[in-house]
Amino acid sequence: MSQTARLTVQRGAPGQAHAERYDVPFEPGQSVLDGLRWIRAHRDPSLAFRFSCINANACKECMMLLDGKVIYACTERLTDGEMRIEPLGNKALIRDLVTEIAPPDERL
């Protein structure tokens, strides 16, 4: 029997946020990041989120809110049921789940 995670993802630019739902098939042990990557590959290539698992120096790029709690999408596990994913609330929103990483005075 296949399991399904229903991910409600905040989408849009600042001032234009809305929620979209996606049903994501998964096997136990898969991460929230796996689910987001599945959505981008199979349902909506425009979904924006950050991750950099190939470069440990850039870790923490996949931080976001899951049901109101700050998580790393790469380590938090998908569950069979509803999950709400939003961008970090204490960072400036760029689009979808992407927020500014560095303050303006630290950017090149």
| Structural domains of the chain, with CATH | 3-106 (3.10.20.30)
DSSP 5-62: EEEEEEESSTT--EEEEEEEEE-TT-BHHHHHHHHHHHT-TT------TT-GGGTTTT
CB 89 within 8 A of CB 65: yes
Sign of CA dihedral 30, 83, 41, 97: negative
Strands laid side by side in the 81-86 sheet? 18-26, 3-11, 81-86, 63-66, 69-72
* pLDDT recorded at residue 59: 73
* pLDDT recorded at residue 68: 96
Per-residue DSSP letter, 77 = B
Two tokens, residue 34: 């796996």
* pLDDT recorded at residue 16: 94
**At residue 106, does pLDDT exceed 60?**
no
* pLDDT recorded at residue 80: 87
Two tokens, residue 32: 């929230």
Predicted confidence band at 103 (pLDDT cuts at 50, 70, 90)? low
Mean pLDDT of 48-66: 80
